[in-house]
Copies of this chain bind each other. A is one copy, B any other.
Amino acid sequence: MPQTIEFAHDGDVSPPLRRLGQSVLLSTDEIDFFENMQQNRATYGKGEALISEGDEFQCCFAIRSGWAISYRVTMAGRRQILSVYLPGDFIGLHINFHRTAIYTVAALNKVEAALIEPMRLIDIHQRYPVLAAGLDWAAVRSSNILSEHNVSLGARTAEERILHFYLELWCRLMLVGEASSDGFHMRMTQEQVGNALGLSVVHVNKKLKALCREGILEIDGRMISVPDVRTAIRRADFDAAFLDTFRIANGASNRKNDTRDLLEQIDELTEEMAERRRESADAHTSSFSR
């Protein structure tokens, strides 16, 4: 009940709350508490570090606007981007006790974040179980995204990786109302995409061009659109299950209808893919080796 009231005007809701509200049914009490909790804010300019490798996590961040990335640099000097944080995402959840960061987090463009002290998180777990479940859920989701990236890096071709990555960003942005069925605004350079996908800039560029020539992607400056979602999903081996899009499709929301429809469509395609994958997995062998 409180949900529909709140969601009647999505615009008044902070992106982090919107994300939580999608996976969990919050009471007005919890909503108030959570929104009030975001008073303590900070903004970061392009390239500025929110956390540096080796530092101690002082608190958790909830992104209210802008994009951020986490990355590590190998001794050979190669940079690996580990995750991309979009509006509504949390950074450093479950840092109840001080821990040193094993990666750096930096703003890709101007970022506004709410700072959430560890005490608050403990509070939540004791007093607001549903809200706590939502946060746990967010942590699990980010772990799932990490797993999916592992699959991309280890078992997909350059083309699949790139397409998969763009589809993932598109879906995640739609879920927080920052993209429509028309496409999305890409805020990473091709070099950064390469650093996320373990590919060189040059290779990213060439495959991107090839995808455009084939009509699978459309790129106009930094605007990305996907003319034929169905083939794109197939070509990318994209299975949206790891993003939990389906939960939203069922929940009430005043999200523009075309966006919701598209997400639903993607979920259906995902189902098909999953089935086909199960079949081929069976065909592989009875045991699990190879």
Contacts and interface: CB of A to CB of B under 8 A. Distances in A.
A34 interface: no
A144 B102 contact: yes
A103 B148 CA distance: 10
A288 B97 contact: no
A53 B281 CA distance: 10
A74 B151 contact: yes
Contacts of A95: 140
Interface residues of A, number: 66
A287 interface: yes
A280 interface: yes
Contact of A102 (B133, B149, B191, B241): B241
A171 interface: no
Interface of A: 47, 49, 53-54, 71-80, 82, 94-97, 99-100, 102-104, 106, 125, 133, 136-137, 139-140, 142-144, 146-151, 153-156, 189, 191-192, 195-198, 237, 241-242, 273-274, 276-278, 280-281, 284, 287-290
The 7 closest A-B pairs by CB, nearest first: A154-B198, A153-B153, A78-B155, A80-B155, A80-B154, A47-B287, A80-B151
Given A53-B281, A146-B146, 5 more contacts: A47-B287, A73-B281, A75-B277, A76-B156, A78-B156
